[in-house]
Structure 1
Amino acid sequence: MSDSGDGDTSSTADDADPTVEDLIESLETLESVVDDTEERRKVQEAMRTAREIAVQKPPSVFGRVVRGFDRSDLAEALLGSVLFGIPMLVEGGTGEVGAYLASHPVYLVGTVVATVLLVIGIIYVADFQDVRVHNPILGVVPRRLVGVLGVAALTALVGLTVWGRVDWTSPGVALGSTVVAAVPMAVGAALGDLLPG
């Protein structure tokens, strides 16, 4: 192997496998610090060329660098949420488990926490894709995490309500049922967002 410097033994995926997206990101950073107009134009032209290369040879579904969370990601998350969640909307057991959780608030909170941790594991730990946190909310909370969990929760809430599976005159049971339905929907939303790339 070639030596990469005496003191630096750390290695990241970015160092090992640079992508066109990494190049574009570096060029954008360079563009923001270049003072000369002609030099800035050259950097912008290099960015255009890099984007054309990326379009000509799209990366495979797996192994892409995933940044941000836009409308297409939202649509993919919604599709995954609905596909995984339809059985929860029609299954009577959802209401039974919801009633149980309503009478055991600690388990209700535990289910919510477990769902969040499960989604974090799928998105950021399982390595389906190289997911990068881009422009987090309040500088801390990843937009993709909020988007995926939000889609799942909203799909569960609207689906159960519109199909008459919950009665909001009993808010505890309705909330419990929504949390139960949101668990597989959150898994589906995370997978739906990541797997298409």
Structure 2
Amino acid sequence: MVDSDEPDAATGRAGGSDGAGGAADPAHGPENPDINDLLATLDALSDTVDEGHEREKVRQTISLVERMPGTGALAQRITKYTSRDLAESFVGAVLFALPLLVEGGVFEIAAWFAATTVAGVPVLLVGHVGFVLLATAGLLYFADFRQITIRHPILGVIPRRYAGVLLVSLTTSSLMLLFWGRLHEGDPTALERLGRIAVVWAAAAFGAGLGDILPGESQGEDLGKFDLDIGDDD
């Protein structure tokens, strides 16, 4: 039997068979596609259509797929990022930051960060911030608590959930230190104040990430919808 590239009359798909266990055909996507592949394809389609009403139709289709009932691994998948996720991140950040606000050890660590410099650069503080960034990304996307789909990244690069967790936890840490009088206590230097924020931020970011993903997918309007489709005729 000769393989054909013509669409099959019954299925509307190109002819040819991979066979059981055959390799995936790059022209037709994965051999065993799942719902994540479908959502990824729809996301890519929404970025290619030109008309506003066409883009809205694609979004409606994505919303319909996301509301389909799922079991097992599908039930653990998170696709939307909503205002409720921001609230959950805030609660988690507060719960994890509270114990550190009464700990004098935060001041000692911040002073150590400020005192350890190379060519005037606080290398330990910079390394600590890098650790917070990497640990948060690992918690959200590699620890396998939930299967998280990245959609509508900021500037096409930064996942919205990742940015949200980091910003909510950083803001929470800074404001709580300020309101509780712990940011300026003992007349610290500016670098020591940054160190205090960074120490509390580490715990708050971890709490914010857990507070966001552990409850599962939240209800509400997906913040990814507000992606500034400039130039679309709605």
The match for 1:102 is 114
What is the CA–CA distance in structure 2 between the aligned matches of 1:115 and 1:53, rounded to whole Å? 33
TM-score (norm: length of structure 1): 0.75
> Alignment RMSD, CA only?
3.8
Identity %: 35
Tell me which of 192, 213, 225 is aligned to 1:173: 192
Structure exhibiting the larger radius of gyration computed from Cα positions: 2
Q: Distance in 2 between matches of 1:7 and 1:22?
A: 15
2:145 is aligned to 128
Point out the structure with the larger helix share. Answer: 1
Q: In 2, are the aligned partners of 1:83 and 1:188 still within 8 Å (CA)?
A: yes
Q: Count residues with an aligned counterpart.
A: 183
Letter in 2 for 1:161: L
Change beyond 3 A, Cα 1:65–1:161: same
1:71-110 residue pairs with structure 2 within 5 A? 71-104=83-116, 105-110=122-127
Task: Give structure 1 stretches of 5+ with no counterpart.
Answer: 34-39
Q: TM-score, normalised by structure 2?
A: 0.64
Take 2:98 and 2:182, find their aligned partners in 1: how far apart are those partners?
Answer: 12
Q: Report the Cα offset of residue 15 of structure 1.
A: 4.0
The verdict on how the C-alpha distance between 1:74 and 1:109 changes in structure 2, with shifts beyond 3 A counting, is same
Q: Secondary structure at the match of 2:35?
A: coil
CA displacement at 1:176 relative to structure 2:
0.3
Residue of structure 1 aligned with 2:177, choices 151, 160, 170 = 160
- Distance, in Å, in 2 between the alignment partners of 1:131 and 1:107 is 31
CA change 1:27–1:121 in 2 (3 A) is closer
Cα pair distance change 1:13/1:97, threshold 3 Å:
farther
Matches within 5 A, 1:1-197: 3=20, 5-6=22-23, 8=25, 15=32, 17-18=34-35, 22=38, 26=42, 29=45, 47=61, 50=64, 54=68, 57=69, 63-104=75-116, 105-167=122-184, 170-197=189-216
